[in-house]
């Protein structure tokens, strides 16, 4: 257990990077005062631990394996990217497979392992999606929106935090269910007409799953889902910032329209993350990884192999924004989206002691969760 930092460059909300000290007590930030603590080299920065609210797998393991061991392997792999919290994300598969995956997530949350990144809850991506914009999801398992089936999912995993769904597929009752349960309703894999989506936003849709990807397109006669979510300040937008799913100019447009508070970096990564190129699996389908992209045999993008620290760096490089502003997209913003901004996503007293120690290029030198070092870069003895 660390006791804090001594005279480090710390990301203090509203102030930027400040040379200050910080104390940790019982896994939480106690104050910005400390007589003892880790001495961080002056070229490194202490930022909040990153949060990935949309991730399918890593290092050869997939959430849909339905095994606690797979979740633990994913959790243990993420701290090297600066991630301290994540939402294991399901896929459109048969009902029993989804129930098994959700039940396993629930069991792992109850077990509360101390190693690796913390599981915040599940992100249900499908099966309530549009066949027209299914992306890499399995079409034969797609279902029309159903609040009764959603309740079955919720009963085995009451920690579901976010649901990606196609509102146009009879989604009104499902939306009401999600709002009543405090689950984030996110439009995605959807062909929803503009006016209908405006109705859904008025009733509670508050997020857009991987903006631009797998959604009704923008035209000058129909602004589609893209246009509606860009214009509506109530909606936050997830973004896969690998430069493959969304080109830098489109990223710049999203950032300009939504502002620094409404863009959420996600990886949407699959089991091939951190591994060499080759053939892998996602949602029961073969995926081929080459040149940094993961695709089905027909060329459809199938998740990513993006790391969160690379996503943060890409935002700096693509947009020319500061490290502070780029980090916010992977910390404070997802915490707010998940209504967890009272305890994670910022470095403030009484918040969880979750930190990533990075350089200006967002290389990760250490990752700390609840005051415990869960990753340290080799050959850096200053961590003690």
Phi, psi of 55 (to 5 degrees): -150, 130
Question: Is residue 249 situated within a structural domain?
Answer: yes
Largest CA distance in the chain: 63
CATH number for position 286: 3.20.20.140
Half-sphere exposure of 291 (CA within 13 A, CB side): 5
Within-domain flag for 380: no
Helix (H/G/I), strand (E/B), else coil: 168: coil
Q: Which residues span the domain enclosing 246? A: 48-343
Q: In this structure, is residue 169 part of a structural domain?
A: yes
**How far apart are the C-alpha atoms of 20 and 22, rounded to whole Å?**
7
Any domain includes 359: no
What residues are labeled active site?
Answer: 268
Burial class of residue 195 in the structure, from the number of CB atoms within 10 Å of its CB (0-12 exposed, 13-18 middle, 19+ buried): exposed
**32 is a domain residue:** no
Rounded Cα–Cα distance for residues 164 and 21 (Å): 41
Contacts of 99 (CB under 8 A, 6+ apart): 152, 153, 156
The answer as to whether 94 is a domain residue is yes
Q: What is the tally of structural domains in the chain?
A: 1
Residue 382 placed within a domain: no
Q: What is the pLDDT along the chain (384 residues), one digit of tens a residue?
A: 889 999 999 999 999 999 999 999 999 999 999 888 888 999 999 999 999 999 999 999 999 999 999 999 999 999 999 999 999 999 999 999 999 999 999 999 999 999 999 999 999 999 999 999 999 999 999 999 999 999 999 999 999 999 999 999 999 999 999 999 999 999 999 999 999 999 999 999 999 999 999 999 999 999 999 999 999 999 999 999 999 999 999 999 999 999 999 999 999 999 999 999 999 999 889 999 999 999 999 999 999 999 999 999 999 999 999 999 999 999 999 999 999 999 999 999 999 999 999 999 999 999 999 999 999 998 776 665
The answer to whether position 24 is within a domain reads no
């Amino acid at each position: 257990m660390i006791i804090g930092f001594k005279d480090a460059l710390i990301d203090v909300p509203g102030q930027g990077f400040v040379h200050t000290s910080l104390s940790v007590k019982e896994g939480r930030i106690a104050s910005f005062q400390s007589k003892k603590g880790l001495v961080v080299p002056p070229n490194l920065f202490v930022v909040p631990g990153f949060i990935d609210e949309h991730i399918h797998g890593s290092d050869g393991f997939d959430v849909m394996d339905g095994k606690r061991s797979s979740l633990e392997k994913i959790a243990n792999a993420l701290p090297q990217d600066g991630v301290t919290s994540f939402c294991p994300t399901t896929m459109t598969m048969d009902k029993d497979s989804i129930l098994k995956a959700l039940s396993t997530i629930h069991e792992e949350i109850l077990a509360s392992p101390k190693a690796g990144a913390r599981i915040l809850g599940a992100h249900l991506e499908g099966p309530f999606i549009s066949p027209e914009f299914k992306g890499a999801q399995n079409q034969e398992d797609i279902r029309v929106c159903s609040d009764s089936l959603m309740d079955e999912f919720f009963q085995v995993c009451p920690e579901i935090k976010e649901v990606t769904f196609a509102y146009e597929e009879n989604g009104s009752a499902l939306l009401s269910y999600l709002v009543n349960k405090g689950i984030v309703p996110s439009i995605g894999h959807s062909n929803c007409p503009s006016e209908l989506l405006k109705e859904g936003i008025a009733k509670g849709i508050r997020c857009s799953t991987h903006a631009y990807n797998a959604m009704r397109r923008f035209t000058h006669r129909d602004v589609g889902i893209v246009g509606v979510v860009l214009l509506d300040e109530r909606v936050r937008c997830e973004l896969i910032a690998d430069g493959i799913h969304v080109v830098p100019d489109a990223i710049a447009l999203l950032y300009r329209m939504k502002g620094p508070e409404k863009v959420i970096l996600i990886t949407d990564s699959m089991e091939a993350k951190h591994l060499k190129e080759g053939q892998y699996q996602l949602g029961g389908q073969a995926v081929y990884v080459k040149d940094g992209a993961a695709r089905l045999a027909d060329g459809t993008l199938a998740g990513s192999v993006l790391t969160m620290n690379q996503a943060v760096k890409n935002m700096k490089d693509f947009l020319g924004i500061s490290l502070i502003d780029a980090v916010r997209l992977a910390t404070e913003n997802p915490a707010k989206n998940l209504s967890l901004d009272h305890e994670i996503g910022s470095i403030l007293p009484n918040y969880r002691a979750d930190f990533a120690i990075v350089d200006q290029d967002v290389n990760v030198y250490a990752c700390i969760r609840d005051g415990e070092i869960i990753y340290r870069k080799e050959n850096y003895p200053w961590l003690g």
